[in-house]
Amino acid sequence: MAATHQHSMPNSLPVLYLAFELGLSDWKLGFSTSLGTPARVRTIGGGNLPAVLREIGLAKKKFGLPEDVAVFSCYEAGRDGFWLHRWLCGQGVHNIIVDPASIQVDRRLRRQKNDRMDAQKLVAMLIRHQAGEKVWSVVRVPSPAEEDGRHLHRDLEELKAERTQHINRIKGLLHGVGARLAQVNNQFPQILDQLQAADGQKIAAALRERLLREFERFRFVQQQILSLEGQRRRTVRDGAGQPYVDKTRKLMQLRGIGMHGAWVLVYELFGWREIKNRRQLAGLVGLTPTGYDSGDSEKEQGISKAGNRRLRTLLVELGWCWLQYQSKSTLSRWYRKRFGSGSKRQRKIGLVALARKLLVALWKYLEQDEVPAGATLVDWRSKLV
């Protein structure tokens, strides 16, 4: 995750540090002024913003701080998202959101854990972070518009997974009585009338009603999928001049990358992330290699998988598409030369390496107009059909 700008204060000025431990019903607020000062932990109701301001005021009085003292705060990324960060910044608080997976954990002893201890630990680490120590990774906060733009494709992916569940459930119920169904489509009610169980009898009444109810849920989800796909298609077709749409169109010009892949890459990554180098780029997706070199032991442990799971899955799929539709490109020739004659496992490992190289190539293509070597370009409009 990309770090945000770190606010630092001169050591001579007093600072109030605040850490949030966000629960569903209760929030723990940990206050401190320095590492040697015992943390003041208070409990408020979840989402009670007036109570947050009240506790900040009480903490200033408790520690003998002036009313205009700078307040630095943090909380872990999770269910509450970014709204609290934006509210705190609006109140003049310097807030950061922390990647929970990057927080250091002592592995020598059994770990004690409760919300009070977590708040105390977070505020201590916040003080160390403000002093310049590298104790965690800070989440890059998107703007409200950037965050809102991700809902369409994420909802679409969840709907497609839900559609698959309905299809599998229908086929599984029929399989349980010895009936077979090749596919589920709008003619399912008519097909159901013709299906027979293993004993040659028609599908039983209660099972038939359950199948029809399941089919209605499938059809409702299918209608929502078609509606969202149509909305996305219209946005790409009619949104000339919009930065996100222009980047989506540019990626669609590459043969083997369709509208969905281009859209997700732009709205999840290339549209709003500030990427400095290829290692940071691969780290955002979790495709960086994880080496292990200690003494005489040296081995590769695979990719980190610490980044965006949605993008990582998509890039592996795009890797397969790239091999099929861009077979004459330099990347495809590199893959066939390096892994083409290997085992199935080696080819899968090679595909992850190809996905990482493809990610860097697409970044250069968007930022520097550098077309991947040997790649074929097509008209993006042909992919709107």
Q: Is the pLDDT of residue 301 over 80?
A: no
Say if 274 falls within a structural domain.
Answer: yes
Same domain for 75 and 125: yes
What residues make up the domain containing 157?
A: 148-238
**Least confident span in 224-233, 269-278, 369-378:** 269-278
Say if 372 falls within a structural domain.
Answer: yes
Say if 327 falls within a structural domain.
Answer: yes
Same domain for 253 and 177: no
Other CB atoms within a 10 A radius of the CB of residue 7 amount to: 12
Percent of the chain residues past pLDDT 90, beyond the cut: 76
pLDDT band at 28; cut points 50, 70, 90: very high
Same domain for 40 and 135: yes
Distance, in Å, from the CA atom of 84 to the CA atom of 97, rounded to the nearest integer, reads 10
Per-residue pLDDT tens over the stretch 229-243: 999 999 999 998 899
Mean pLDDT of 317-331: 96
Say if 137 falls within a structural domain.
Answer: yes
Last residue of a domain, one of 141, 166, 191: 141
Same domain for 377 and 257: yes
Q: Considering the chain, what is the average pLDDT of its residues?
A: 90
Phi, psi of 41 (to 5 degrees): -110, 125
Q: Is the pLDDT of residue 354 over 70?
A: yes
Verdict on whether the full-model pTM lies above 0.95? no
**Least confident span in 36-45, 90-99, 322-331:** 36-45
Same domain for 363 and 317: yes
The pLDDT assigned to 105 comes to 73
Say if 219 falls within a structural domain.
Answer: yes
Same domain for 59 and 135: yes
The pLDDT assigned to 107 comes to 63
Last residue of a domain, one of 141, 161, 191: 141
Distance, in Å, from the CA atom of 375 to the CA atom of 41, rounded to the nearest integer, reads 59
Same domain for 188 and 101: no
Last residue of a domain, one of 238, 257, 275: 238
Say if 122 falls within a structural domain.
Answer: yes
Same domain for 250 and 232: no
Per-residue pLDDT tens over the stretch 57-102: 999 999 999 999 999 999 999 999 999 999 999 999 999 999 988 8
**Least confident span in 149-163, 215-229, 337-351:** 337-351
Total domain count, the chain = 3
Say if 127 falls within a structural domain.
Answer: yes
Helix 205-238, helix 243-252: angle, nearest 10: 100
Mean pLDDT of 283-294: 76
Say if 286 falls within a structural domain.
Answer: yes
* Higher pLDDT pick, 102 / 10: 102
Distance, in Å, from the CA atom of 95 to the CA atom of 141, rounded to the nearest integer, reads 11
